Amino acid sequence: MVIITGLFDALSILTRIPLSGESEWTTRTWALAWFPVVGALFGALWMIWFQLFPGLPISLRAVGALTTEIILTGGLHWDGWADVFDGWAARAEKRDQARKDSRIGTIGVLWVVLAVAAFIGLWVQVDVIQDARVIVFMAPVLARTAIAVGLAVIPASSQSRLAKWTQDHVNARGAVIAVMITLAIIAGFWGWKGILGLGIIAVCDTLFLEYWRRLFNGLNGDVLGATVIFTELLSLSVGIGLWR
């Protein structure tokens, strides 16, 4: 029952769906184990946009999928993406201040525009691939698995209450289950080529997380959000490269 409750906790962490509150977490939750399942829900929504609206240009279907995800998450991943680049552009002594500023800076806006353009461009490219639906489905799954692993193994920054609170209340072993679920999905859909793609994504995500960990002296919520965006774009790119 505790493990099943982790699904609702995962939805509460990763979406705006009000299913459980922080005050209810009296024991360590298995939320991390359910992160790829939540990712699969977003993947299914992406597939709906990809498959059920063939009359729309692929670029508009991409915008529809992205808008749906932003509505359900409150845009928290995109906010994190913008914030980390605002911090990256600031002087070392002001990085955390720039990252936490509620106003998005010019650099943050530019990186959001670039990421949205890349997202639409990747959807256009993936549209001509035979396994396009699976590539679209897997990107959100891999993105949520990436942050489950990040939360399990990377110490939170002393400046991040969200990441620290989450790490204090989740069972890190849930990340192992998350990886096993993801491996099973990938092996079922793609076999050895999928495992190769996962290896490429894992290496790139490790480098991405390590860079931001060093820059901000630990993990924080914005880095986790940025990792979701990075991994979604990376997964689409790797899928296109392997199955074109």
Residue ranges covered by each domain of the chain: 40-243
Beta-carbon contacts of residue 195 (< 8 Å; ≥ 6 apart): 183, 186, 187
The full DSSP string for 146-200 is HHHHHHHHSPBPTT-HHHHHHHHHB-TTHHHHHHHHHHHHHHHHHTHHHHHHHHH
Average pLDDT over residues 94-100: 88
pLDDT greater than 70 at residue 1 = no
Q: Rounded to whole angstroms, how far apart are CA atoms 113 and 117?
A: 6
- Give the number of other Cβ atoms within 10 Å of residue 165's Cβ: 14
Residues 45, 68 contacting (CB under 8 angstroms): yes
For a pLDDT cut of 90, what percent of the chain falls above it?
Answer: 64
Q: Rounded to whole angstroms, how far apart are CA atoms 29 and 224?
A: 18
- pLDDT one-digit tens code per residue, 126-168: 998 988 999 999 999 999 999 999 999 998 887 777 666 777 7
Whole-number mean pLDDT of the chain? Answer: 90
Q: Rounded to whole angstroms, how far apart are CA atoms 143 and 44?
A: 14
- Whole-angstrom distance between the N-terminal and C-terminal Cα of the chain? 43
User: In terms of residues, how long is the chain?
Assistant: 244
pLDDT confidence of residue 244: 79
Q: What torsion do the CA atoms of 183, 185, 190, 191 make, to the nearest 10 degrees?
A: 50
pLDDT confidence of residue 96: 85
pLDDT confidence of residue 210: 96
Q: Which two tokens stand for residue 235?
A: 């997964």
- pLDDT one-digit tens code per residue, 63-91: 999 999 999 999 999 999 999 999 999 88
- Give the number of other Cβ atoms within 10 Å of residue 21's Cβ: 9
- pLDDT one-digit tens code per residue, 171-207: 888 999 999 999 999 988 878 888 999 999 999 999 9
* Residue 170 β-bridge partners: 29
